[in-house]
Amino acid sequence: MAQELGMKKLIVDIGRRLWIRGYVASNDGNVSVLLNKNEVLTTPTGVSKGFMTVDMIVKVDKTGKAVSNNSKYRPSSEIKMHLEVYKERPDIKSVVHAHPPYATSFAVAGIPLTKCVLPEAVISIGAVPIAKYGLPSTMEIPDAIREHIKYSDVILLANHGALTLSSDLLSAYHKMETLEHTASIVWKAIQLGNLNVLSEFERDRLMGLREKYNSQGRVALCDTTSMTINPETEKIVGEIVRRIMIEMNKKS
């Protein structure tokens, strides 16, 4: 019972972190933890993740049916997606789903975050694929993510958001932070007109660190080929830089 209460408190805390950081809006997003081999704790549907309380957390069985005594709250409408992860990945004990703005922008644009750019991201989340679009709360999303979760703990959901998995809840949340941080930096670098991609040699050295420190979870190898920046974007950025330089020279 103490373990269950502790898990519920952590879910509430993670929900608030997601809301404070702007990774979810209104009643968006959901979090779950595998309590034991037969039961899962999940956030309730129709409740802001920034204003949850421990009594709102719902316990469900492996079919998604609520087994909590509290009938006031219903399990997340996306529980099917979470249960699919636990079914396919016995090593996973927690799942976080959110709509972080930069990462979701890439998901909406149909651009996977697969380039080797930041060392920390290469090590912790690797190449991030995009699962095809599925209608929320249906089996379309579990069907769409099934192939991707076999080799990656971090997935973009087309026109929807992001999904992170881990052996514990805090780690799953941290992967969501890393994903959004990486997406924001990649987006800004693209606006500047250049994205330096790490070489295959450097990528392999970074992956060696995962082995050295026995890093858990699954990451897909990121892409080491250069990224072509849209010429029109490069032209706009160049014009902005030119105007800034003119204004700076006027003040000097």
The CATH number for 71's domain is: 3.40.225.10
Measured in whole angstroms, the distance separating CA 235 from the mean position of its chain's CA atoms is 32
What is the average pLDDT across 66-92? 92
Rounded mean pLDDT, 122-126: 96
| Within-domain flag for 243 | no
Residues assigned a catalytic role? 78
Q: What was the pLDDT predicted at 11?
A: 98
Q: Looking at the predicted structure, is the pLDDT value of residue 248 above 80? A: no
Q: In the prediction, which pLDDT does 1 show?
A: 73
Statement: the pTM of the whole predicted model exceeds 0.85: yes
What is the pLDDT, as a whole number, of residue 162?
98
- CA–CA distance, 114 with 224 (Å, rounded to integer): 9
Mean pLDDT over 142-168 rounds to 97
Q: Is residue 246 part of a domain?
A: no
Amino acid at 204: D
pLDDT (average), residues 4-9: 96
Number of domains in the chain: 1
- The verdict on residue 216 lying in a domain is yes
Residue 25's CB is within 10 A of a number of other CB atoms, namely 14
Q: The sheet that has 94-98: what strands, in order across it?
A: 58-61, 39-42, 30-34, 94-98, 161-166, 154-157, 130-131
pLDDT of amino acid 196: 94
Residue 40 belongs to some domain of the structure: yes
In a domain, 26, yes or no: yes
pLDDT at 43: 97
Provide the domain limits for residue 36: 2-233
pLDDT (0 to 100) of residue 246: 72
Q: What is the pLDDT of residue 184?
A: 97
Residue 8 lies in a domain: yes
Distance CA 159, CA 120 (A): 26
Interval 71-86 mean pLDDT: 94
In a domain, 252, yes or no: no
In a domain, 240, yes or no: no
Helix axes 169-192, 2-20, angle to 10 degrees: 10
